[in-house]
Amino acid sequence: MKQAILVVSFGTAVPRARDDIEAVETELRALRPQLPFYRAFTSPRIRRILADRGETIPSLEDALEQMQRDGITDAAVQPTHILYGYEYDKIRKTVEKFRPQFERIQLGAPLFSCTADILETAAILDGCYPAEDEKRFVFMGHGTGHFADLAYPALETALHRRGRKDCFLTTVEGWPDFESVCRFLKDVPVTLVPLMLVAGDHALHDMAGDDPDSLKSLLESEGCRVSCVQRGLGSVPEIRRMYARHLKALLDAEE
C-alpha cells in the first residue's frame, strides 16, 4: 500500500497564528518524512478568506480526493482538534464516506482523547505557567454544546489536584462560561491564555479584545489587572508531541 499523512485543522485566517498550525504539521511530518504529506482546513469561512488572499487550502473532501488521484491507498488522517466534539464528528463522517475509496484509512485522536491526555496537559500547563504570588491564570477554550465540553472542567480539576488553585478554565461557547469564572476573580492580577491550537480570532477578540463583553473587559470591570498571552497550544513542544503520539499510533498500526 502507498501510505500518506493528512493533517486536518479547523484553520485560521490570522497570519501569525498560522505558525502554530505549521509547527504541529512540522512535528507530525517528521515522524515519516519519506511519506507524502497533505493538509486540509475544515472551516469554509477561513478557506474563503484565504482564497480571497490568493491562497488555496483544500477541504478535507478535496484533500482526500487529491490523495486518490495521487495513488494513495493508505491514508493516516490526523486532526489537530482539541476534543471529540461536533467538528471532530464531521471529520469522522467524511472519513467514513471515503473508506471504500482506500485500501485503508485511519483517523487519529484529538488532543484530549482520554483521561491521561487531560492529566498530561495539566502537567504541561503547570510547567509553562508557574504560580506567581497572587496572580491567577485563566485558560480560555473554544467550548461546545457537545458532551465532550466536560473535558474543560476536568482539566481545571486536574490543575487543582496538582495544587494549582490559581488556575481556572473558561470557554467562549461552552461551560464554564465567562460569567462563571469572573465571579471568582476580584481585584487580582490575571493572565489570560488561549487553550486553543492557535491564538486566532477568538484569542484576539473574545479573550483580549476591547469590547465590553470580552473576557479581558469583564475581568477589568471586576478590578482585575489583566495581561494576555497571544500564542496557541501549537507553540508548546510538549503539546505537539502529544499530537505526534496520536499519529504514530496510526502509522505503527499493522496492516
Q: Is 173 annotated as a binding residue?
A: yes
Name all contacts of 204-208 with Cβ < 8 Å and 24+ positions apart.
204/14, 204/230, 206/140, 206/172, 207/140
For residues 213 and 177, the answer to whether their CB atoms sit within 8 Å is no
Q: Is 103 annotated as a binding residue?
A: no
Rounded Cα–Cα distance for residues 97 and 126 (Å): 40
For residues 205 and 214, the answer to whether their CB atoms sit within 8 Å is yes
Residue 142 annotated among the catalytic residues of the structure? yes
Q: Is 234 helix (H, G, I), strand (E, B) or coil?
A: helix
Cross-strand bridge partners of residue 74: 3, 104
What are the backbone dihedrals phi and psi of residue 26, each rounded to the nearest 5 degrees, phi first? -60, -40
Compute and round to an integer the Cα radius of gyration of the chain: 19
Q: Which of 81, 142, 160, 205 is catalytic?
A: 142
Q: Is 202 annotated as a binding residue?
A: yes
Dihedral, 161, 165, 166, 169 alpha carbons, nearest 10:
70
Q: Catalytic residue positions?
A: 142
Q: Which residue numbers belong to the known binding site for Co(2+)?
A: 142, 173, 202
Binding residues: 142, 173, 202
